[in-house]
Structure 1
Amino acid sequence: MRIAWRERSKRKDRGRRTMAASRKRGSKKGPRKGASKKRAKKKKAARRGPSPKQSGPRSSGPRFAGGGAGKKAAKKSAKKGRKKSAKKAARRRASKVAPSGGTGSSLWNQVLGKAQEEEKKHAGLVRLNAYLARCGVASRRKCDEWIEQGRVSIGGEIVRELGSKVDPLRDVVAVDGEALQPEKPVYVLLHKPKGVVCTNARGEEKTRAIDLISHVRGRVFPVGRLDLDSEGLLLLTNDGRFAESMTHPRYGVPKTYKVTLRGRIDEATLDKTRGGVWLAEGRSGQATIRITRRSKERTTLLVTIREGKNRELRRIFGRVGFPVLRLQRVKLGPLELKGLPKGKSRFLLPSEVDALLAATDPQAEG
């Protein structure tokens, strides 16, 4: 019995020395792989004593003092070693994925370098049609037509691809050989009289809308159009994006007209007109119609629509048998014509421009 007790004491001392060495080694560079498990197994075997195969029947002598404390210390040491090993493994994985300080995976550096080059390459680029519209030459749709026709060049080379991009700070963009520069946005409200055409093309004997605003410097163009016999509110600008927002059907900006018809129109015909009338290019959109004056000879209406086909209202009411005698646009979105004499113009206030843009509804149709 004494021999067995001494043997266990020696093993206990060896276990303590091994644990102390392990702690010292782990504080510097962490435990070796699998060392914690091996020590735990040895400690467990030491508490149990020699196995029957090695030293005969198991001794029934008392356990050595401090066995519980040794078990707790072994568990604590093993747990600490596993944590340090996990941290090292995490650091190794991180160094492979995202190296720091300029060292690490060369593959990562290549991928990152290519991404940065692409980002620098496309930084500051804008679509060609947007740049042309910003320069005030025309709306985006019109600029797309010019690009397809080969009228636009970048750095002296003709460009026909609609998705082309340009660097406004470096590239020289020209239309028909004339270099362009972005201009400060200009927004003009004109009370267009009858007999004035909404085009900038020269060679017309009739008065152009831009001829009535000769005091405005720089190139501007009409936003939408009013036919030769129509009058009223007409905007002119050099901002192509703004012009598209005001005229394209998908933005749904309401346009209100004062329409004078020949004859006394009845409610049944008005209801038919409100729902849409079939025209050559398809059914017209819905309209809001209110009668302001009616007699046997004439009927005056306020009509609001959200699209602007060529001479649309004249064709709609002509289709139902009531020719248009006078057509005047009195309102565009929240902007009204009130107080501006025929043939006169004025610049829009910034608040008016903001209100017009706020009136756009990309979800609206016809």
Structure 2
Amino acid sequence: MRSSGSGKSGGRGNHRGAGNNRDERQQGQGRPSKPRPEERRYDVGPGATKDGPKAGRGGAARGGAKGGPKRAQQSGGRTAPGRSREYETRAEERNRERYAGKKDVKPPKTFPGAEQEGERLQKVLARAGYGSRRSCEELIEQARVEVNGEIVLEQGMRVDPEKDEVKVDGLTVATQSYQFFALNKPAGVVSTMEDPEGRQCLGDYVTNRETRLFHVGRLDTETEGIILLTNHGELAHRLTHPRYGVQKTYVAAIVGPIPRDLGKRLKDGIQLEDGYARADHFRVIEQTGKNYLVEVTLHEGRKHIVRRMLAEAGFPVEKLVRTSFGPITLGDQKSGWLRRLSNTEVGMLMKEVDL
């Protein structure tokens, strides 16, 4: 038993001894021994030593070799990133180019279609005040926009604001740089843009406007109410031309009693020194004792026409207010206030005079 045990023990000893002898023989023959995995050095290169990697590529790469450990470099007590920021930026750009697909190629200025004139329809509508370009694209999608009498069914159409007629919901769009305002003129204001005598005039309400505006028609100095201001010459001309017969409505304060046939007399025509004058509509709005508020609508624009008609019928006017000019009404707009007309109101005015 003892001899067999010593034999096993001797066998193990001989095995280890044989291994050591083999390593010694390899070293003696000049062949380096293979280091253990934990002893491998990955940051190697010219100038590297067994005590550590060479400062430079290996130290900056920090584990750049395949399978190398990613160790942080200590600098001043702060941990530096494993890779430089420039390296990461370049890598990100390469990945973006690789996976972003085909790049958009900007065609030269001479590509087919670049010579197209005009502006995109949605841009023209947006500039005219119909909302954002996306909102204007929705108007086109809903088939609510027409150009030169034809409904637009697709996006991207180009128009010439100077020549093409653009409509939204049947109302003409002011595609150029036009401005439209309504002023509730107070009594005592002269219906001119400038007054050589220094009296208060319409121009005093628009002194801060870059574009020169002018008034559409006139109101008596003592007459209050709505008066339009614009820089659209053709529209202003048509609104005041007798051919188009744009109606204006006035509310007058008179003293009665008034006969029942006063409205009929005004509609049939009142003889004035410069010819007959006829009202389109007449009605009594309010009566307080002998004081009456009456409404008169007519399409004529002669000077002092309403005052002269009622005075000739035997009812001098004590106070007169114009409450509407065509489709534009005074509403609750305060005296002396200026407001910009909406796109719908501008379109209604243009429709009134076939623009």
Q: TM-score, normalised by structure 2?
A: 0.49
Structure whose alpha-carbon radius of gyration is higher: 2
Q: TM-score, normalised by structure 1?
A: 0.47
More helix, by proportion: 1
